[in-house]
Chains A and B, each alone.
Chain A
Amino acid sequence: MTQIELRGVQKYFGAVQVIKDLNLKIDDNEFIVLLGQSGCGKTTTLRAIAGLETIDGGDILIDGKPVQHLKAADRDIAMVFQSFSLYPHMSVYENIAFPLRATRKSKAEIDSEVRSVAKTLQISDLLAKKPSALSGGDMQRVAIGRALVRRPKAMLMDEPIGALDAKLREEMRAEIKRLHIKQGSTSIYVTHDQIEAMSLADRIVIMHEGVLQQVGSPDEVYSHPANLFVAQFVGSPVMNVADASVTEKPSLASVTVGDAAAGFEFPRALLSKLNGHAGSQLALGIRPEGVLVRREAAEGFLPVETQIVEPLGSFDIVDLKVGSKMLRARTKSGFISGPGERVFVRIDPSQAHFFDTASGKSLGVRL
């Protein structure tokens, strides 16, 4: 049973504030992913929880007790580093046994625990090897084994699979998830890869320039991004965002993107939900799958010209020219043969997001 709580955590590197008033509560057995670009403070946050960085303000609580003044060794937390940090002069066995040797366990106990962890991770046959003789994936397994063996209160992982190649990364991702479900320890995982975050997390914490942007389940941050940053950071291909203006038409609302000649049709309810924001600085966000494309003209569809087509195997991403703006749409593969085609497009109102461009915040409009 481990809960971790951050209360108003502040951290400066010289004059630069890398963590700005961070508040976060992590429940027992929860798998939390800190997601953000490099330099957003996610790794610093993780290291602060581990006790490898001091904080300049606020509290870090583990099970309700402030730990910010405790040494790393006294926090009973394990950490997996991106570099794995396996001790090169020790065998795999010694590496895994190392955290146990810091405790007062007997040799036999240590031996049985090392072997049981090795069995879980399927590295029993590697125990006698030196880390330098291992493949990347096995190094990763050993590093996780070293973290698990002590049965710590919480597992911290700093981009643990960032150094692996794409295929192995996918494999290890599944393995980490499987392990978490089996072992069920409170875990905090840092990554800049949003696919990793989506696939692993119970809740994703998105950070930008030291500020927490949004906390929510993968589905929440994907479907209800709190602001423009989250909207454009989560999801691949990236969400279309364009300045937009809303005008009132009889029986419906029209949303014009940029300097386009005509507007997209939206239900009239939009006007009331925008609540006075209609005329002001407004941005429309729409994921490529929310841009509906047809070959034939139809009611509510605007004619546009196709530009670049990116075939991605299971689907294509097509750039559509709307006014001077590009709108990226997701289509069946092969639906558009190439640039210069005339197609008809509309925006699915239920997948549209509206943001205040001044603050970047979502207006929370759902249709």
Chain B
Amino acid sequence: MAAVRTSSEITFNRVAIVAVLLVTIIFLAPIYWIASTAFKPRNLATTIPPTVVFQPEISPFVKLFTKRSQLRSPPSPEEYAAAPWWERVVFNGGEKIVRDGKGQVQWSGYPSRFMNSLIVAITSTVLAVGMGTFTAYGFSRFKVKGEADLLFFILSTRMLPPVVVAIPMFLMYRAVGLNDSHVGLIILYTAFNLSFSVWLMKGFMDEIPKEYEEAALVDGYTRMEAFFKIVLPEAATGIAATAVFCFITAWNEYAFALIMTSRRAQTAPPFIPSQVGAGLPDWTVIAAGTFLFLLPVAIFTFLLRNHLLRGMSFGAIRK
């Protein structure tokens, strides 16, 4: 059933739609740029004006995952014919893939950095959201002495830009041997996200009527059982939303990753720009690395979109 709309409202709606489209285009432009560059041949990546129509290539991704060196002379026809398709696209670009003594392909630094990013972001998200959920539940349901002060204290860890503590953190981490380790980054990002997670989850917990748990308590369940069987399913929306935000923060974090890690535990954000400086930059490879880096967050957010929209029917409670 459509409500009655006046002509001025219709005009307003049209203007609004145009404005929304415009803003969307502005926001999507950089993503389009990265995505298109990731599939361009190297010689078209930096043309002025930009090349819009081109034959997409997979070579930037092959190059992204392998170590390469410049070809002094073109490969012999036999060598070219014997090479698999992914090696040929590298030959076509005037480079060759580096192999070790046994002929094994040498991987570039990217896959391990990407894995590091996944390990650190997922683990720290699980920890921050898990601890945040329990903490928020405690604050929401029980009388905690000095509750307001404690919550303020938790929030206060967010009041400084984190980079301010980067140097002391670095020194501390070096002293205890946590620098360039997964555990170090996980602790750091968990601490980072925890205050945010506690506050966000507190809001969601407060919205869940405590009669649900009380009903379960009277029905013969312990507090823990009631928490897992009743509160957690009800808080799923909030947990999903909090997890998305924590994951994005941990996934995108650059400054600390740059300072705290160098090789073993280095994540993708500091690695990708570090490749710009190595010789003449191959923008297509950097774009491919960035494009792949965008995907997990996009997929994660897409999977949880229903929860984020809070479209769930929120309960059969009468107030």
Within 8 A of B (CB), among A48-82: 50-52, 71-73, 76-79, 81-82
- Residue B219 lies at the interface, judged by CB distance under 8 Å to chain A: yes
Could you tell me the distance between the alpha carbons of A286 and B233 in the complex, rounded to whole angstroms?
A: 56
B300 CB within 8 Å of chain A:
no
Contact status A102-B220, CB under 8 Å: yes
A-B contacts, CB under 8 A, total: 84
Please determine whether A52 and B218 come into contact, CB atoms closer than 8 angstroms. Answer: yes
- Contact present for B217 and A52 (CB under 8 Å): yes
Residues 204-220 of chain B, each 1 if its beta carbon lies under 8 Å from chain A, else 0: 00000101101111111
Bound complex: CA A87 to CA B231 (Å)? 10
Q: Count of chain B residues with Cβ under 8 Å from any Cβ of A?
A: 23
Provide the residues of chain B in CB contact with A84, threshold 8 Å. Answer: 316-318
CB–CB A98/B316 < 8 A? no
Per the bound structure, the CA–CA distance linking A78 and B215 in Å amounts to 8
Query: Is A86 interfacial (CB-CB < 8 Å)?
Result: yes
B36-68: which have CB < 8 Å to A?
none
Please give the number of chain A residues whose Cβ is less than 8 angstroms from any Cβ of chain B in the complex: 33
Query: A9: shortest Cβ distance to chain B, in Å?
Result: 19
How far is A85 from B218 in the complex, measured between Cα atoms in Å?
A: 12
Residue from B209, B214, B219, B234 in contact with A102 in the complex, judged by beta carbons closer than 8 Å? B219
Q: Check A81/B211 contact, CB under 8 A, given A72-B218, A102-B219, A132-B313.
A: yes
Q: How far is the CA of A61 from the CA of B111 in the complex (A)?
A: 67
Q: A83-B211, A88-B313 are in contact. Are A77 and B318 (CB under 8 A)?
A: no
Q: Specify which chain B residues have a CB less than 8 angstroms from the CB of A88 in the assembled complex.
A: 234, 313-317
A297: interface (CB < 8 Å):
no
Q: Mask for A81-108, Cβ within 8 A of B = 1, else 0?
A: 1111111110000000011001100000
List of B residues within 8 angstroms of A86 by Cβ: 316-317
The prevalent SS among residues of A at the interface is loop
Cα-based distance from A98 to B314 in the complex (angstroms)? 20
- Binary interface profile of A, 159-179, with partner B (CB < 8 Å = 1, else 0)? 000010000000000000000
Q: How many Å lie between the Cα of A83 and that of B314 in the bound state? A: 13
Closest to B211 in A: A85
Nearest A residue to B317 via CB reads A83
Q: Contact between A98 and B212 (Cβ–Cβ < 8 Å)? A: no
- The answer to the question of A136 belonging to the interface, with a C-beta cut-off of 8 Å to chain B, is yes
Bound CA–CA A82/B315 (angstroms): 14
A73 and B233 CA atoms in complex are apart in Å by: 21
The reply to whether A85 and B212 contact each other, CB–CB distance below 8 Å, is yes
Contact B316 A139 (CB under 8 A): yes
Interchain CA distance A272-B316 in the complex, whole Å? 60
Within 8 Å by CB of A85, from B220, B222, B225, B317, lies: B317
Is the Cβ of B209 less than 8 Å from the Cβ of A146?
no
Separation in Å of the A85 CB from the closest CB of chain B? Answer: 4
Instruction: For chain B, residues 254 to 304, give those with C-beta under 8 angstroms from any C-beta of chain A.
Output: none
A-B contact pairs, 19 of them (CB 8 A): A73-B222, A79-B214, A79-B215, A81-B214, A83-B211, A83-B319, A84-B316, A87-B212, A87-B230, A88-B313, A88-B314, A88-B315, A88-B317, A102-B219, A131-B315, A132-B313, A132-B315, A139-B316, A156-B218
Nearest first, the 3 closest Cβ-Cβ pairs linking A and B are A131-B316, A102-B220, A99-B219
Q: Which residues of B contact A (CB under 8 A)?
A: 209, 211-212, 214-222, 225, 230, 233-234, 313-319
